[in-house]
Amino acid sequence: MRIKQMPEDDRPREKLMERGPASLSDAEILALFFSTGRAGVSAIELGREIISQFGSLRQLSRATTAELLQIPGIGPAKAAQLAATFEFGRRLAHEPYHDRPITAPEDVFALLGAEMQRLSQESVRVILLNHRKRLIQAEEVFRGTGNESFANPSEILRRAIAHSAHAIVVVHNHPSGDPSPSMADHEVTRRIKAACQAVGIEFTDHIIIGCLSGENAMPYFSFREGGMI
């Protein structure tokens, strides 16, 4: 039986086996998570509905488990499975930086830029580095709204100390797309620098992620490159 002659829900698995995973559409990839859809809706139709609702797999990957549970046809088991799969992908993307140093703003942007540019909310991350400037972990320490960041230096240092980090890079996004630092960004940078000096942790940089535009020569701003650290 040819693939087109098979029942619709059987096609993604057979296509993958015959042609490889790259042959699948986004909806077909999602359909592989569901052995069945819901009443009157096939797994592929459910996949199409989800893609239509979120706009893309990337946007879906940013959904919380609570948001996934709001989708008709997705229960706790499938929500957890999807969330774990997307987290696996994020960790896989970070893995090369465990083997090479992060020494420049370009490295930080390559690590987190694309992910943070998609966010509609403000997010503050701390990149924890060992003595060779290689990645230990990148963690979110704050999530909010608006274009200004308010990160607690004590929370950032708590993460660094817990992982025995030698150095840190603080990263946050401006949802407006303009990476220019605000007065609040300058103030929090001074506070983080003072806190790091007090405990002997190197404050490598504070980077603001924005978007490339006619007004912005770079899609990010580095406080170190600006001579402010």
Q: Which two tokens stand for residue 99?
A: 């083997």
Q: Is residue 61 predicted with pLDDT exceeding 90?
A: no
**In a shared domain, residues 131 and 82:** no
Range picked from 74-78, 111-115, 193-197 for highest mean pLDDT: 193-197
What are the phi and psi torsion angles at 103 (to 5°)?
-125, -5
217 and 105 housed in the same domain: yes
Instruction: Please give the Cα distance from 58 to 51 (Å, whole number).
Output: 10
Number of domains in the chain: 2
Q: Is the pLDDT of residue 224 over 90?
A: yes
Summarize the confidence of residues 31-50 as an average pLDDT: 74
Across the chain, mean pLDDT equals 84
Mean pLDDT of 110-127: 88
Residue 46 corresponds to which amino acid?
A: L
Q: How confident is the model at residue 199 (pLDDT cuts 50, 70, 90)?
A: very high
Write out the two tokens for 10.
């059987």
CA–CA gap between residue 34 and residue 214 (Å, rounded): 44
Residues 106 and 153 in one domain: yes
Q: What local confidence, expressed as pLDDT, does residue 128 receive?
A: 97
**Is the predicted pLDDT of residue 204 greater than 50, yes or no?**
yes
Which is more confident, 56 or 123?
123
Buried b (16+ CB within 10 A) or exposed e, 187-210: ebbeebbebbeeeebbbbbbbbbb
User: Are 217 and 104 members of one domain?
Assistant: yes
- End residue of a domain, out of 44, 73, 93: 93
Of residues 37 and 14, more confidence is placed in: 14
Residues 53 and 29 placed together within one structural domain of the fold: yes
Report the pLDDT value the prediction gives residue 172, as an integer from 0 to 100. 95
Residue 180 CB contacts under 8 Å (≥ 6 apart), including other chains: 174, 208, 210, 216, 221
Domain for residue 117, yes or no? yes
Per-residue pLDDT, 179: 94
Q: Can you tell me the mean pLDDT for 30-35?
A: 76
| Residue 186 amino acid letter | H
- pLDDT tier for residue 10 given thresholds of 50, 70 and 90: low
Whether residues 85 and 188 fall in one domain? no
Domain ranges, residue 147:
100-222
Q: How far apart are the C-alpha atoms of 124 and 73, rounded to whole Å?
A: 33
Whether residues 75 and 185 fall in one domain: no
**Whether residues 131 and 190 fall in one domain:** yes
- Candidates 120, 109, 112; CA nearest to 62 is 120
Structure token pair of residue 153: 């230096």
Q: Which pLDDT does position 142 carry in this prediction?
A: 87
Residue that finishes a domain, picked among 74, 93, 112: 93
Supply 93's token pair.
Answer: 């993307």
